[in-house]
Amino acid sequence: MSDKYHLDFPVSWDELHRNARALAWRLAEAGPFKGIVAITRGGLVPAAIIARELEIRLIDTACVSSYEHKDLGESLILKEVVATDDGEGWLIIDDLVDTGTTARVVREMLPKAHFATVYAKPAGRPMVDSFITEVSQDTWILFPWDVEPAYAKPIKDRRK
């Protein structure tokens, strides 16, 4: 397991929903968009929320595998986008941009698309056009689909 993540940032379903809606508000001014390309798997939930808020019904996926839990690996394209050539007029949605590895791959597929994430880390932030919340590079975001209720250590005990 990677030692580069020193902090955990748990995100609840309610918080993710609020942040995705806030991103939709921001994106409403950048549109209209022909459709959404959701980056699987993390971008599926925010893409569904944003599609509803912006009344976008045309949705495609870009399937890229980069992580094995907290270990960043080589990007593997599992499925390319079929709905568009260069991405012009399209919106790419992902849950976060971390190092920018996945974003770089998708940007090459759709260089003219508007790329938006809910969360952004400093290393990957230049790869996206819009985001809502920035977190430090050493933070691991615990999305609601990756966690279950459990005892939480006090913050002072986590930093040891």
Q: Which residues are known to be catalytic?
A: 94-95, 98
What end-to-end distance do the CA atoms of the chain give, in Å? 18
For residue 8 the two structure tokens come to: 């955990």
What is the length of the chain?
160
Alpha-helical (H) ranges within 8-120 are: 13-28, 44-54, 101-109
- At residue 120, the 3 state secondary structure works out as strand
